[in-house]
C-alpha cells in the first residue's frame, strides 16, 4: 500500500470539521435544511426579478435570455434544491427519532447523499458565473435542448448537476426504506408509526422507482449533446415525445415526492394542537399509498395537447380524476380531526390550516386540468402557474413551514417567536394569495407561461402589477421567517423536552437530542406513546441510568465527502473535456482514480474509530 | 324547504361565477378564453363554467366547514377534546361523494374528448400550419394557382361559417397553436404531425393567437392572427394571392424598392408572380394587406417595416446567423442598405395589397 499522509480519522470533532465529517442523521438533517433555505432565498430572488420584468408591458428590464435562465433555474432550484431537501431535512432529522432508532441504516451513505446533493446543486449554479445558465426550462423539452437549438453549455450544466444530485437522492431513497423497515424500536409496528414516517417510506419508494427514469432520460440527452447520438434529434428522425414521456413518468411521481412529506407533517401536527387522535389513521396512510401508486399512471396529463389520440387522453383524464378521491379523503379526515377537538392556534397549527385551505384550492384547479377540453385552454398558461403554486407553495412550502415551527424546538432546544411566527403566517397567506390567485385570471385571459414580455394591448398589465406587488409581500414574509430563525436560535425560550405536549416518540428525549438519540431503546405500545387514553400528555417512564460512553455509535468519516467530490469533479470534467479534450481526460482519470480509491477506503473503514485504534494495537 | 334553500345557494354561486365570467370577459383582453367565437370554444366554455361551478361549490363548502370547525372547537377551559379515532361509515361516504362529483364532470369530459376527434366534413377548409422559430408558415393546399398551395404567413384568413381543419407540424422545435377565442391549443411537434380539432368560426373579426409552448429566445414574440371574414371577402383574398402584382412603373420610388428587394431579399422571401422565390423566410405575397408584421407583434406601418428591415434585433430577440433548423435568421440591413433603400423596400412590399 502506498503510504499517503491522509488526515486522521476524527473521533469526536468540533466546529466546521465536525460538520464536514458528520454521519449523524440529525446534523445531516440540519445541513439539508440550511442549504435548502439558502437556495430558497436564491430561487426567491430569481422569482422577484421575473416579477419585476413582468410588472410592466413591453418591459426591457432584463433580456429574454436572462428571463429564460431565471424561470428555468427558479423551477429547477425550487424542486430539487429547496422542497426536496427541506423534506429530506425533516426525514433525516426525524425518522430515527420517530421510530426509536439511534441513526439511519447507513449513516455514511446518508452523508454521501447530502454531499452529492449540495455538490450537484453548486455545479448547476456555477453556470451563472460562466454566463450560460440553463435556459431551456426545468422540463427541458427536446429538441430545444439539442446542440442545434441550445448551443451554449447551460443545458450541459443542467444535465450534469441534476445527474449528480439524483445519485444522492436515490441513495437516500434506499437508505430510508431500509431504515424504516428494519430499525424500528420494539413494539413500533408499521401501523404505529407517525404519518410522517409513513409518508417518508412512501416517497422513498417513489424515489427508487421514479429517479432511475429521469437518470436514463438525462443520460440519453447527455449522449446526444456530448457524443453525437440521436435519441432526441428530430433532424435524424426522432420523435421528441420520447423525452416528454420519460420526463413525466418521472415528473409526476416527483410531484408527490414534493407534497407527501408536507401531508405527513400536518397529519402529525393536527393531533397535537387538537388534543385528539388523527381521524382515520389507517385511511390516511392508505390514501397516501394510493396517491403514490396512481401517481405513476397519470403522467400523460402533462401532455394533453401534444397529440396522443382520443383513447390515451380519455384514459389519462379518468386516472387523473381518480387522484382526487384519495386526496379528498385526506382533506375530509383532516377536517374530521378538528371535530370535537380542543384547538389551539400556535404558529405550526396556523400553517397547517394554511396548508389545508391552499392545497384544497390547488387540488380543485388540478381537477379542472383533467377536463381535457378545458385544459386545451389552460395548459401552458398562467392558470397552470397558479395551480401548481397553490399545490407546491400553498401546499408543500406551507406544510414544511409548519414543520419548521413545530420541530425547531426539538432541533435547537429553543422555541421560535410566536409573535414573529404569526406575523410571518398572515403576511405569507396574504402575499401568497395576492401573488397567485390573480394568475388564474391571467390564464383565463390567455396569457401563456414562459414569456418574458407581453404587449400592452393584450390587457394583462393591471393583473400582472397586482401579482408583482404580491410577490414582494411574500418576500417580506420570508425575511421575517429568516429573522425569526436567526433570533430564536440564540435568544428563543428554552423548549424543554416536549413543549407542545405532543404524543410521538421524538418528544420523549431532550431537546436538542443527544447524539445517540435514545439512551435506552424504547418499547412502543401505541400510536401515541406519550399520551394516555384521554389525550393527556404523560411523562415518559424513568429509564435506568446508562453510561453514554457505552453506547455504540458510528464515528465520523470524510470518505463519503471525498467520493461525492470525485463524482462531481468527474461530471464537471465533461465540461472541461468539451473545452480541451486532453485536459478533460486527465481530470476524468484523476477523479475516477480518487473515487475508486475513496470507495475502497470507505468500504474497509471500521465503523468506529476506537475499533480502528484497537485493531492497530493488536497487530 | 331545505332543498329550496340549497337550490337558492346553488343559484347564488352560479350567479357569482357568471359575474366573475363577465368581469374577466370585461377586461379588454383580445386573447381571452371566456369569449368563445366558434362552435368548438363554445362547447369548451360550457364545460369550463360547469367545472368552475362544481369546484367552486366544493371549495366554498369545504372552506366554510373548515372555518366553522376551527371556531366551534377552539380550545375552551374545561372542555376536553373527544378522543375519536375514526368512523368507517363516514369515511366510506366521503370516499364515494368525490367519486360521484367526478362522474358528473368525467362523463361529459370523455364525450367531449370523443367529439373533438371527429373527422372534418367534406367541404371543410384544410390549412397546414408549420411552426418555425419564431413565426407561422400557412399553406392552403389546392387553393393556389393551378391547384398548387396558396402560401402566406402569420395571418390566417378563413370564411365565416365554414368548417376549418388545420394540420400542424413544426420545422424545428415544439411550438403550440392556440387561438383562445376560436380553438384550444394543440402542439406543433416536429416528426409528429397533429390535426387540430375541427371548428367553425361564427363571428367576423380578427382573433389573436400565440405560440403556447416555450420555443427559445423569441417565444414571447411568436404571435399570429386569424381573420374571420365573409365568404366573398375570403374568396377575393384567395384570388388576389393567386394574381401576380402589377409591374411598377419604371423610375418610381416603388420600382427602386423592387430592385433592392430582388437584390437583397428574394433569396429568402417569396412574392407570387415575381422573381422573388425564396422559401426560407415568411411568404410576403400581398404583404400590404397584412395587419401586422414580425409574427403578430407590430402594426404593419411603414415606420415599423423600415425599423424591422434596418435592425430586426431591435424589435425581436432573434439570434444572428444560422438557426438550429439550419435556416439563416433574418439579417440586419442597417450596414448593407441606406435608409432610402430601406424605405423603398418597405414601400414596395407594402404597395401590394388585396383590393
In this predicted model, what pLDDT tens digit does every residue of B251-269 receive, in sequence order?
A: 899 999 999 999 999 999 9
Residues of A in contact with B91 (CB under 8 A): 280, 283, 329, 332-333
- Does residue A335 share a domain with residue A416? yes
A458 touches chain B (CB under 8 A): yes
H/E stretch holding A568 reads helix A559-579
Measured torsion, CA atoms of residues B96, B100, B101, B102, in degrees rounded to the nearest 10: 100
Rounded to a whole number, what is the distance in Å from the CA of A429 to chain B's nearest CA? 15
Return d(Cα B32, Cα B26) in angstroms, integer: 10
CB within 8 Å of A461: residues ≥ 6 apart: A56, A57, A454
* pLDDT at residue A542 in the model: 72
The answer to the question of residue A545 being in a domain is no
B180 touches chain A (CB under 8 A): yes
What grid cell was written down for A592?
475516477
Q: Which of A256, A80, A255 is nearest to A159 (CA)?
A: A80
* pLDDT at residue A349 in the model: 98
Do the beta carbons of residue A130 and residue A199 sit within 8 Å?
A: no
Do the beta carbons of residue A161 and residue A146 sit within 8 Å?
A: no
* pLDDT at residue A130 in the model: 85
Percent of chain B with pLDDT over 90: 86
SS3 A483: helix
Identify the domain boundary among A465, A498, A533: A533
Burial of A255 (0-12, 13-18, 19+ CB in 10 A): buried
Of A67-81, A545-559, B217-231, B293-307, the range with the lowest mean pLDDT is: A545-559
* pLDDT at residue A614 in the model: 46
Residues of B in contact with A230 (CB under 8 A): none
Q: What are phi and psi of A573, to 5 degrees?
A: -65, -25
Measured torsion, CA atoms of residues B93, B97, B100, B105, in degrees rounded to the nearest 10: -170
Chain B interface disruption, residue of A65, A371, A375, A459, most B CBs within 10 A: A371
CATH level 3 topology of B124-355: Immunoglobulin-like (2.60.40)
Plot region of A455 (φ>0 → left; ψ -120 to 50 → alpha; else → beta): beta
B292 touches chain A (CB under 8 A): no
Domain containing residue A514: CATH number = 1.20.210.10
Q: What are phi and psi of B318, to 5 degrees?
A: -100, 130
Query: How many C-beta atoms surround the C-beta of residue A181 within 10 A?
Result: 13
SS3 B76: coil
Q: Which of A431, A463, A427, A428 is nearest to A445 (CA)?
A: A463
What grid cell was written down for A262?
408536507
- Does residue A489 share a domain with residue A594? no
Q: Which of A333, A435, A422, A364 is nearest to A393 (CA)?
A: A435
A444 touches chain B (CB under 8 A): yes
The answer to the question of residue A542 being in a domain is no
The answer to the question of residue A541 being in a domain is no
- Does residue A197 share a domain with residue A307? yes
What are the beta bridge partners of residue A448? A381
User: Binning pLDDT at 50, 70 and 90, where does residue B147 land?
Assistant: confident
| pTM (two decimals) | 0.94
Q: Which of A557, A405, A429, A556 is nearest to A481 (CA)?
A: A405
- Does residue A42 share a domain with residue A4? no
- Does residue A76 share a domain with residue A30? yes
- Does residue A8 share a domain with residue A74? no
Residues of chain A with pLDDT under 70: 1-5, 610-619
- Does residue A98 share a domain with residue A227? yes
What grid cell was written down for A552?
455504540
Q: What are phi and psi of A102, to 5 degrees?
A: -90, -25
CA distances from A351 to A265, A436, A492, A521 (A): 11, 17, 20, 33
Q: Considering its fold, how many domains does chain A have in total? A: 2
What average pLDDT does range B129-155 have in this prediction?
95
* pLDDT at residue A500 in the model: 97
Of B99, B105, B184, the CB nearest to A377: B184
* pLDDT at residue A119 in the model: 98
Which B positions 220-279 lie with beta carbon below 8 A of chain A? Answer: 220-221
Return d(Cα A83, Cα A401) in angstroms, integer: 11
- Does residue A574 share a domain with residue A442? no
What grid cell was written down for A465?
402589477
- Does residue A35 share a domain with residue A11? no
Residue span of the structural domain in which A268 resides? 24-49+59-533
B158 touches chain A (CB under 8 A): no
CB within 8 Å of B122: residues ≥ 6 apart: none
Return d(Cα A331, Cα A291) in angstroms, integer: 13
Chain B interface disruption, residue of A377, A384, A438, A536, most B CBs within 10 A: A377
* pLDDT at residue A617 in the model: 38
Q: Rounded to an integer, what is the distance from CA A233 to the centroid of its chain?
A: 32
The answer to the question of residue A547 being in a domain is no
Tally of residues, chain A:
619
Of A277, A313, A339, the CB nearest to B85: A277
SS3 B136: strand
Q: Which of B208, B45, B21, B155 is nearest to A378 (CA)?
A: B45
User: Binning pLDDT at 50, 70 and 90, where does residue B9 land?
Assistant: low
End-to-end Cα separation, chain B, in angstroms: 66
CB within 8 Å of A603: residues ≥ 6 apart: none
CA distances from B196 to A224, B43, B182 (A): 31, 15, 11
Q: Rounded to an integer, what is the distance from CA A532 to the centroid of its chain?
A: 34
User: Binning pLDDT at 50, 70 and 90, where does residue B16 land?
Assistant: low
H/E stretch holding B167 reads strand B164-170
Q: What digits encode the pLDDT tens for the residues A387-406?
A: 999 999 999 999 999 999 99
- Strand pairing category for B125-132 and B164-170: parallel
- Does residue A10 share a domain with residue A129? no
Question: What CATH class does B2-75+86-116 carry?
Answer: mainly alpha
- Does residue A487 share a domain with residue A609? no
Do the beta carbons of residue A337 and residue B65 sit within 8 Å?
A: no
The single-letter DSSP state of residue A3 is -
Alpha helices, DSSP H, located in A339-417: 347-370, 372-378, 382-391, 398-412
- Does residue A202 share a domain with residue A85? yes
Identify the domain boundary among A477, A499, A533: A533
* pLDDT at residue B24 in the model: 57
CB contact under 8 A, B192 and A329: no
CB within 8 Å of A196: residues ≥ 6 apart: A90, A91, A94, A98, A261, A264, A265, A267, A268
Domain positions in chain B are 2-75+86-116, 124-355
* pLDDT at residue B1 in the model: 42
Return d(Cα A295, Cα A340) in angstroms, integer: 33
B213 to chain A: closest CA residue: A380
Which residue would you say has higher pLDDT here, B247 or A567? Answer: A567
Which A positions 37-66 lie with beta carbon below 8 A of chain B? Answer: 63-65
Amino acid at each position: 500500500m502506498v503510504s499517503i499522509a491522509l488526515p486522521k480519522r476524527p473521533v469526536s470533532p468540533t466546529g466546521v470539521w465536525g460538520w464536514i465529517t458528520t454521519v449523524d442523521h440529525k446534523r445531516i438533517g440540519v445541513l439539508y435544511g440550511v442549504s435548502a433555505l439558502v437556495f430558497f432565498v436564491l430561487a426567491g430572488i430569481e422569482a422577484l426579478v421575473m416579477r419585476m420584468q413582468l410588472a410592466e408591458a413591453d418591459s426591457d428590464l432584463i433580456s429574454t435570455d436572462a428571463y429564460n435562465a431565471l424561470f428555468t433555474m427558479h423551477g429547477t432550484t425550487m424542486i430539487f434544491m429547496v422542497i426536496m431537501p427541506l423534506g429530506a431535512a425533516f426525514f433525516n432529522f426525524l425518522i430515527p427519532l420517530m421510530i426509536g432508532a439511534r441513526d439511519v441504516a447507513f449513516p455514511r451513505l446518508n452523508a454521501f447523499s447530502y454531499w452529492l446533493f449540495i455538490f450537484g446543486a453548486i455545479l448547476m449554479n456555477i453556470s451563472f458565473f460562466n454566463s450560460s445558465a440553463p435556459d431551456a426550462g426545468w422540463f427541458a423539452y427536446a429538441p430545444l435542448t439539442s446542440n442545434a437549438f441550445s448551443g451554449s453549455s447551460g443545458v450541459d450544466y443542467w444535465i450534469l448537476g441534476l445527474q449528480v444530485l439524483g445519485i444522492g437522492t436515490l441513495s437516500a431513497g434506499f437508505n430510508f426504506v431500509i431504515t424504516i423497515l428494519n430499525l424500528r424500536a420494539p413494539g413500533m409496528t408499521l401501523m404505529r408509526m407517525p404519518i410522517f414516517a409513513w409518508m417518508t417510506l412512501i416517497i422513498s419508494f417513489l424515489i427508487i422507482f421514479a429517479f432511475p427514469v429521469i437518470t436514463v432520460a438525462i443520460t440519453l440527452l447527455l449522449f446526444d449533446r456530448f457524443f453525437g447520438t440521436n435519441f432526441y434529434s428530430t433532424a435524424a428522425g426522432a420523435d421528441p415525445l420520447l423525452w416528454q414521456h420519460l420526463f413525466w413518468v418521472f415528473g409526476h411521481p416527483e410531484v408527490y415526492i414534493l407534497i407527501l412529506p408536507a401531508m405527513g407533517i400536518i397529519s402529525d401536527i393536527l393531533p397535537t394542537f387538537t388534543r385528539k387522535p388523527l381521524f382515520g389513521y389507517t385511511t390516511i396512510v392508505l390514501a397516501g399509498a394510493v396517491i403514490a401508486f396512481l401517481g405513476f399512471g397519470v403522467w400523460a396529463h402533462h401532455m394533453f395537447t401534444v397529440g396522443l389520440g382520443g383513447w390515451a387522453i380519455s384514459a389519462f383524464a379518468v386516472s387523473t380524476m381518480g387522484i382526487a378521491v384519495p386526496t379528498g379523503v385526506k382533506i375530509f379526515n383532516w377536517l374530521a380531526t378538528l371535530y370535537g377537538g380542543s384547538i389551539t392556534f400556535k404558529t405550526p397549527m396556523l400553517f397547517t390550516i394554511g396548508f389545508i385551505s391552499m392545497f384544497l384550492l390547488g387540488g380543485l384547479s388540478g381537477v379542472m386540468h383533467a377536463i381535457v377540453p378545458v385544459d386545451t385552454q389552460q395548459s401552458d398558461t398562467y392558470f397552470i402557474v397558479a395551480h401548481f403554486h397553490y399545490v407546491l407553495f400553498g401546499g408543500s412550502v406551507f406544510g414544511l413551514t409548519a414543520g419548521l415551527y413545530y420541530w425547531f424546538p426539538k432541533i435547537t432546544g429553543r422555541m421560535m417567536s410566536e409573535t414573529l411566527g404569526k406575523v410571518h403566517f398572515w403576511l405569507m397567506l396574504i402575499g401568497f394569495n395576492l401573488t397567485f390567485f390573480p394568475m388564474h385570471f391571467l390564464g383565463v385571459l390567455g396569457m401563456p407561461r414562459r414569456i418574458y414580455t407581453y404587449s400592452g394591448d393584450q390587457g394583462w398589465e393591471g393583473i400582472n402589477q397586482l401579482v408583482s406587488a404580491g410577490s414582494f409581500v411574500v418576500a417580506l414574509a420570508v425575511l421575517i421567517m429568516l429573522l425569526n430563525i436567526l433570533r430564536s436560535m440564540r435568544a428563543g425560550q428554552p423548549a424543554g423536552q416536549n413543549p407542545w405536549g405532543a404524543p410521538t416518540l421524538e418528544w420523549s428525549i431532550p431537546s436538542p437530542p443527544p447524539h445517540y438519540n435514545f439512551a435506552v431503546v424504547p418499547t412502543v405500545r401505541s400510536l401515541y406513546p406519550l399520551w394516555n387514553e384521554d389525550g393527556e400528555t404523560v411523562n415518559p417512564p424513568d429509564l435506568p441510568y446508562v453510561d453514554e460512553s457505552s453506547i455504540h455509535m458510528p464515528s465520523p468519516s470524510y470518505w463519503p465527502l471525498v467520493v461525492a467530490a470525485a463524482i462531481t469533479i468527474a461530471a464537471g470534467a465533461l465540461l472541461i473535456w468539451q473545452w480541451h479534450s486532453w485536459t478533460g481526460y486527465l481530470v476524468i482519470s484523476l477523479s475516477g482514480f480518487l473515487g475508486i480509491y475513496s470507495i475502497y477506503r470507505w468500504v474497509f473503514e471500521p465503523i468506529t474509530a476506537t475499533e480502528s485504534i484497537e485493531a492497530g494495537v493488536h497487530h | 324547504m331545505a332543498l329550496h334553500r340549497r337550490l337558492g345557494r346553488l343559484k347564488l354561486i352560479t350567479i357569482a361565477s357568471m359575474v366573475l365570467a363577465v368581469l374577466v370577459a370585461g377586461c379588454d383582453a383580445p386573447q381571452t378564453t371566456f369569449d368563445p367565437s366558434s362552435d368548438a370554444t363554445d362547447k369548451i366554455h360550457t364545460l369550463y363554467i360547469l367545472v368552475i361551478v362544481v369546484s367552486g361549490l366544493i371549495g366554498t363548502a369545504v372552506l366554510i366547514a373548515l372555518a366553522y370547525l376551527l371556531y366551534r372547537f377552539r380550545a375552551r377551559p374545561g372542555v376536553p377534546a373527544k378522543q375519536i379515532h375514526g368512523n368507517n361509515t363516514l369515511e366510506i361516504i366521503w370516499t364515494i361523494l368525490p367519486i360521484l362529483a367526478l362522474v358528473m364532470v368525467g362523463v361529459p369530459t370523455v364525450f367531449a374528448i370523443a367529439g373533438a376527434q371527429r373527422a372534418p366534413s367534406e367541404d371543410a377548409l384544410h390549412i397546414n400550419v408549420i411552426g418555425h422559430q419564431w413565426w407561422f408558415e400557412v399553406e392552403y393546399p389546392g387553393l393556389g394557382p393551378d391547384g398548387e398551395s396558396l402560401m402566406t404567413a402569420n395571418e390566417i384568413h378563413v370564411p365565416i361559417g365554414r368548417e376549418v381543419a388545420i394540420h400542424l407540424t413544426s420545422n424545428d422545435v415544439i411550438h403550440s397553436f392556440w387561438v383562445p377565442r376560436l380553438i384550444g391549443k394543440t402542439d406543433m411537434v416536429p416528426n409528429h404531425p397533429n390535426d387540430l380539432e375541427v371548428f367553425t368560426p361564427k363571428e367576423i373579426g380578427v382573433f389573436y393567437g400565440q405560440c403556447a409552448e416555450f420555443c427559445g429566445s423569441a417565444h414571447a414574440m411568436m404571435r399570429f392572427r386569424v381573420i374571420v371574414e365573409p365568404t366573398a371577402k375570403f374568396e377575393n383574398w384567395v384570388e388576389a394571392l393567386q394574381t401576380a402584382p402589377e409591374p411598377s412603373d419604371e423610375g418610381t420610388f416603388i420600382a427602386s424598392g423592387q430592385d433592392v428587394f430582388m437584390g437583397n431579399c428574394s433569396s429568402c422571401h417569396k412574392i407570387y408572380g415575381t422573381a422573388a422565390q425564396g422559401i426560407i423566410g415568411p411568404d410576403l405575397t400581398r404583404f400590404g394587406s397584412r395587419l401586422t408584421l414580425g409574427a403578430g407583434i407590430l402594426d404593419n406601418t411603414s415606420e415599423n417595416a423600415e425599423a424591422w428591415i434596418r435592425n430586426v434585433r431591435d424589435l425581436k430577440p432573434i439570434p444572428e446567423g444560422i438557426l438550429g433548423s439550419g435556416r439563416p435568421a433574418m439579417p440586419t440591413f442597417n450596414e448593407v442598405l441606406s435608409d432610402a433603400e430601406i424605405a423603398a423596400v418597405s414601400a414596395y412590399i407594402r404597395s401590394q395589397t388585396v383590393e
